[in-house]
Amino acid sequence: MKDGANYARRIKSFASRLSRLFKEPPPREPRPVIEELLYAILARETSDERAARALEALYQNTVDLNELRVTTPREIVRMMGEDLPEVAAKAEEIGAVLRDVVRRQGRLDLSSLKDRGLREAREYLETLQGVSPFAAAWVFSRSLGGHAIAVDENMVRFLRAERLVPEKAELADVQALLERNVSASISLRFQAALRQRALQRQRSGGKGGRAGPRHSSSPSPSHRSAKAGTSRGSASGRAARARSTNRQASGKARSRTGSAARASSSGRRRP
C-alpha cells in the first residue's frame, strides 16, 4: 500500500481514540459457533438490533437449522424482511453455508473449530461456501478468540471518508491494515465502535466524503450588509467633503467681497 507508514500511524491514533470513547454494550450470552456464523452473515452492513431480529425470525419460522438448510432463499427473505440490507444475498449465503457445513462436518455443528489451531480454524471459516471475509473474521474473533477485525463495505467507505485509508483501497487491503495496526487488546471494541460510526454516517446520508466550505456566486447577507454599509459610508464621506468645499468657497467669496468693498470705500475718501 502506497504511503503505508503514514496510514498506519493514522489508524493507530484513530483506533486508540475511538476505543476510549466507545461505550460497550452489556455482554450477551455466547452463541454456538454455527449460530454466531449465521448472525455474522446477517450483521454485515446493518445494526446489531436488525441482525438479531432477522436471526430470531429464522428461529421462529423453522423447526431447526436442518429445516433452514433446505428452505428456499425466497422464503428466507420473506422470514427476515425485505428491509434487511442485502437480504437476497444473505439468504443465499445462509443456505450455502449450512449445506457446506453438513458436507464437511456431517452435521450442523462447528464447535470442533475450538479444538483446532487458530490458523487452521480461520482458514476453515474463510473457505466455507457462502462465508464473506466479514463473517469469517467476526466468528474467528468472537467465538474462537483469534485476532481479526470484521470489515464490511460500509466501514470501508467511512474510513475512506476520514482519509484513514487510501481512496481506492479494497476491502481485503483495509482489513489487513487494521489487523496489523490495531492491537488485539482493543480490537473487538474498536471493531464495534467503527461499525457503529459507519452506520451513523450512513443513516445521516453521508456520501463518503468530507464536507467542504460552501461557495456561492452571490454575496452572503452579512457581506451584502457590510457592503451596503461601506457604500453608505462612502456616500456620506463624499457629501461631507462637498459641504466642506462649499463652505471654503463661500468663505473665500465673502473675503473677496469684503476686500473689494473696503477698497471702494477708501477710494471714495481720497480727494
User: Amino acid identity of 72?
Assistant: T
Q: Using DSSP, how many helices (H) and how many strands (E) does the chain show?
A: 12, 0
Last residue of a domain, one of 164, 186, 203: 203
Please check whether residues 194 and 247 belong to one and the same domain: no
Please check whether residues 21 and 143 belong to one and the same domain: yes
| Residue 27 confidence class, pLDDT cut points 50, 70, 90 | confident
Please check whether residues 60 and 146 belong to one and the same domain: yes
Query: Domain limits at 179?
Result: 4-203
- Alpha carbons 138 and 40: distance in angstroms, whole number: 6
Average the pLDDT over 208-220 and give the result: 36
For the chain, the straight-line distance linking the first and the last C-alpha, in angstroms and rounded, comes to 114
Inside any domain, residue 218: no
Last residue of a domain, one of 163, 184, 203: 203
Model pLDDT for residues 149-171, shown as the tens digit of each residue: 999 999 999 999 999 999 999 99
Does residue 269 carry a pLDDT above 50?
Answer: no
Task: Identify which has the larger pLDDT, 66 or 1.
Answer: 66
Q: Which residue has the cell 449465503?
A: 93
Inside any domain, residue 41: yes
Average the pLDDT over 81-93 and give the result: 97
Please check whether residues 84 and 160 belong to one and the same domain: yes
Average the pLDDT over 171-190 and give the result: 95
Task: Identify which has the larger pLDDT, 212 or 142.
Answer: 142
Inside any domain, residue 122: yes
Please check whether residues 149 and 30 belong to one and the same domain: yes
Residue percentage of the chain with pLDDT more than 90: 69
For 2-16, 107-121, 197-211, which range has the lowest pLDDT when averaged over its residues?
A: 197-211
What was the pLDDT predicted at 219?
36
Please check whether residues 188 and 243 belong to one and the same domain: no
Does residue 238 carry a pLDDT above 80?
Answer: no
Task: Identify which has the larger pLDDT, 31 or 218.
Answer: 31
Task: Identify which has the larger pLDDT, 40 or 258.
Answer: 40
Q: Which residue has the cell 468530507?
A: 210
What was the pLDDT predicted at 1?
61
Please check whether residues 128 and 254 belong to one and the same domain: no
Tally the domains of the chain: 2
- Alpha carbons 93 and 77: distance in angstroms, whole number: 11
Please check whether residues 130 and 255 belong to one and the same domain: no
Please check whether residues 77 and 150 belong to one and the same domain: yes
Please check whether residues 197 and 249 belong to one and the same domain: no
For 15-19, 36-40, 218-222, which range has the lowest pLDDT when averaged over its residues?
A: 218-222
Which distant-in-sequence residues (6+ apart) come within 8 Å of 150 by Cβ?
A: 40, 133, 134, 135, 137, 138, 141, 191, 195
Inside any domain, residue 220: no
Model pLDDT for residues 102-139, shown as the tens digit of each residue: 999 999 999 999 999 999 999 999 999 999 999 999 99
Last residue of a domain, one of 203, 224, 254: 203
Please check whether residues 246 and 120 belong to one and the same domain: no
Please check whether residues 251 and 132 belong to one and the same domain: no
Inside any domain, residue 225: no
Torsion of CA 177, 179, 183, 189, to 10 degrees: 110
Mean model confidence pLDDT for the chain? 82
Inside any domain, residue 250: yes
Domain containing residue 143: CATH number:
1.10.340.30
What was the pLDDT predicted at 209?
40
Inside any domain, residue 210: no
12-21: buried (b, 16+ CB within 10 Å) or exposed (e) per residue? eebbeebbee
| Residue 3 confidence class, pLDDT cut points 50, 70, 90 | confident
Extract long-range pairs of 145-151: CB within 8 Å, 24+ residues apart.
145/118, 146/118, 146/121, 146/122, 147/179, 147/184, 147/187, 148/122, 148/179, 148/187, 149/175, 149/178, 149/179, 149/182, 149/187, 149/190, 149/191, 150/40, 150/191, 150/195, 151/175, 151/178
